[in-house]
A = this chain, B = another copy of it.
Amino acid sequence: MDYQIVDLIRKKRDNNTLSGNEIRYLVHQYAKGCLPDYQMSAFLMAAFLNGLNDEESTSLTHAMLSSGSVLDLSHIPGVKVDKHSTGGVGDKLSLILAPIVASLGVRVPMVSGRGLGHTGGTLDKLESIPGFRVDISLKKYVELVEKHGLVLAGQTNEMAPADKKMYALRDVTATVESIPLIAGSIMSKKLAEGIDALVLDVKYGSGAFMKTHTRAIELAQTLVDIGESFKKPTIAFISSMETPTGLAIGNWLEVLESIDVLQGNGPSDTLHQSTLLSGAMLLLAGTVPTIEAGIIEAKKAISSGKAFQKFREIVQAQGGDLSYIDRPDSRGTAKHCYPILSSNQGYITRLDAYLLGTLSVRLGAGRQQKEHDVDPLAGIRLEKKLGDYVQKGETLMTLHTNKDLDLDELERWVFSSIQWGASQAEPQPLISHILDKNGLRAYS
């Protein structure tokens, strides 16, 4: 069945519901190059402003998924589980939990993205390990899952190609922050990986794309609904991204922190979140009866060294130079390493993830334009975190950069990201809710 594209745009513009066939036609024509960007962007803006209902969101996911091939990992025994985060600042959890879960015998086929806006991306972090290759063939992808129970790769041209094209278009037409469009994009990529189940880390707050808790829950609900409609058990956690995860922001700096956590060290929030998400993945894989039991297993995988060994194994399998993992200091540092000293005294009551994320981009850790390279060594290392008491003159953080930047400007940027108080702010829970097919409940 052929449609007039302009009629389909008009239908969404007038807030009517598109059928599955209509959405598939639109998406597949676009993927094939038979529908020009300017019509897709008009449709995307109409969808952004008028929304898509549950059925349309599922149809969109299905259409983007079927624009390419879905990996078949069914010959590999066991439940294949992945985790996806909606993105944050300092969010290196994938680097930690993927080897934890794989070291416990559960297959983790993980397809990640690059840094976007003020947020970092797993692929950029992995590539800061010299030699590490994320652009691998489908054949190699399957081999890695078979042999190591783990793969850490980028989206290939075969996986949801419509999504790849639509995503790039959304980025330049202000149509990113739409729940159904985000959900379709995430789920089509994830379903293309060949997974059986999925854990989602849906973030809200300053450093997240969803600024409010309500919007994060709405997104999580849409994601879980789509996952379940594809018969892939899905668990979503709602987590705060008001302040960065851990102490490191920037690609290689985050790899270092991930190694720390995998070796039983590292910041407690990062360990806590990594093991929680690992526990949920293990639950979905059926190897533990509860998330709590999964957390215990995850912690054991760290303390026994199994998780770190799995990390080394996959780094080597994907071409990474292990000498940098074993002797991280040999990687060197950025040309400049500016300590920023406090001009205040008191408790840090706010340490803004968004501003630190944009600062890390400014330092070179992210892209200001799509075609730019990231600097693997650039970033921020926090010395103080939310809730800490700081004396005047103490180091708040160190800024790592290979660029020659105005130090006064950087200092002002740092200061603007911090709020001070005479006492600690009321602590907010890092994970507020859990959502699955049984509904939403507070997580404690």
Binding site for B on A (CB under 8 A): 5-7, 9-10, 13, 36-42, 44-46, 48-50, 169, 171-175
Contacts and interface: CB of A to CB of B under 8 A. Distances in A.
Given A42-B45, A45-B45, A49-B50, A172 B37 contact: no
Given A6-B173, A49-B49, 15 more contacts: A6-B172, A9-B174, A13-B48, A13-B49, A36-B37, A37-B37, A38-B38, A38-B41, A38-B169, A38-B173, A41-B41, A41-B42, A41-B45, A42-B175, A45-B49
5 contacts: A38-B40, A42-B44, A42-B175, A45-B49, A49-B49
A39 B172 contact: yes
Contacts of A172: 5-6, 38-39
Query: Which 8 pairs show the lowest CB-CB distances between chains A and B?
Result: A42-B173, A37-B38, A45-B45, A10-B174, A9-B174, A38-B41, A41-B42, A42-B45
A180 to B, nearest CB: 15
A43 to B, nearest CB: 8
A214 to B, nearest CB: 17
A40 B50 CA distance: 19
Nearest to A14: B174
Copies in the complex: 2
Interface of A is mostly: helix
A415 to B, nearest CB: 25
Nearest to A170: B42
Nearest to A173: B42
A174 B41 contact: no
A149 to B, nearest CB: 41
A46 B45 CA distance: 6
Nearest to A50: B49
Contacts of A48: 13
Contacts of A50: 49
Contacts of A171: 6
Nearest to A5: B172
A39 B173 CA distance: 5
Given A13-B48, A37-B37, A42 B174 contact: yes
Contacts of A36: 37-38
